Amino acid sequence: MAEGITMNAKKIALVIVGIVLVALFFYFDLQRFLTLTALKANRQALLDYYAAHTLIMVAGFMALYIVQTALSLPGAAILSLAAGAIFGTIMGTLYANIAATIGATLAFLVTRYLLRDVVLNRFGSKLEGMNRELEKRGFSYLLFLRLVPVFPFFLINLAAGLTRLPLRTFFLGTTLGIIPGGFVYVNAGASLATIDSLSGIASPRVLGSFALLGLFALIPVLYNKFKSNKGVEN
């Protein structure tokens, strides 16, 4: 009994901490630092700090990206651009991918163990179809969702947390699925001076490429469905 009360108290404390962090983010309007204009204005200062304090800069950037993703805060695109602007395309993609995956996994776990009822009440109708497919198709459907930006990144994290999708499947599907999109933004950030708006980065051609990758991810699902239908007909 006492152990159950202690566990519930810990869950409540974690939820309160999360709410406070989100509230502070919007109260102090920290989103103003996560804009293209702010990134361009502060790029040189960030590069200078990175040159003088490499490990601290990498750790700080990844911690910030993890918190942003875990709490579903705005600013992921700017952070990916910043990764390219500061660390370069290859290392920036690596750091951003690791941080985004960890943050998404934390959001997944928080939804599964702490906020299930809250998420269902808030997004239940929007998540119903996604939940059903994740339950049935698992890795392939998750990979499709990550590759093709049909749903917002944070909604996928929440939806997966409501299903029985194994943690390792979520982690692997997220890690692999966000590489192409992450690379596009990080690579763009490496040429920051040429970017005028975020909308220009994800061009129709780029989105079409993601859609094609997503279709490849769905091939096993489509094959199994075709096989099942054929079996029913026979």
Domain range annotation of the chain: 34-233
DSSP 3-state of 190: coil
**Higher-pLDDT residue of 135, 139:** 139
Least confident of 7-11, 154-158, 190-194: 7-11
DSSP H/E element including 201: none
Task: Give the tokens for residue 136.
Answer: 């049935």
Determine the length of the chain. 234
Give DSSP secondary structure letters for 155-167. Answer: HHHHHHHHS---H
Q: Is the pLDDT of residue 102 over 90?
A: yes
Using one digit for the tens of pLDDT, what is the confidence trace for 14-59? 888 888 999 999 999 999 999 999 999 999 999 999 999 999 999 9
DSSP 3-state of 35: coil
pLDDT, mean of residues 213-218 = 70
Other C-beta atoms lying within 10 Å of the C-beta of residue 66: 19
Task: Give the tokens for residue 18.
Answer: 């999360």
What confidence category does residue 3 fall into, taking pLDDT thresholds of 50, 70 and 90? low
What confidence category does residue 209 fall into, taking pLDDT thresholds of 50, 70 and 90? low
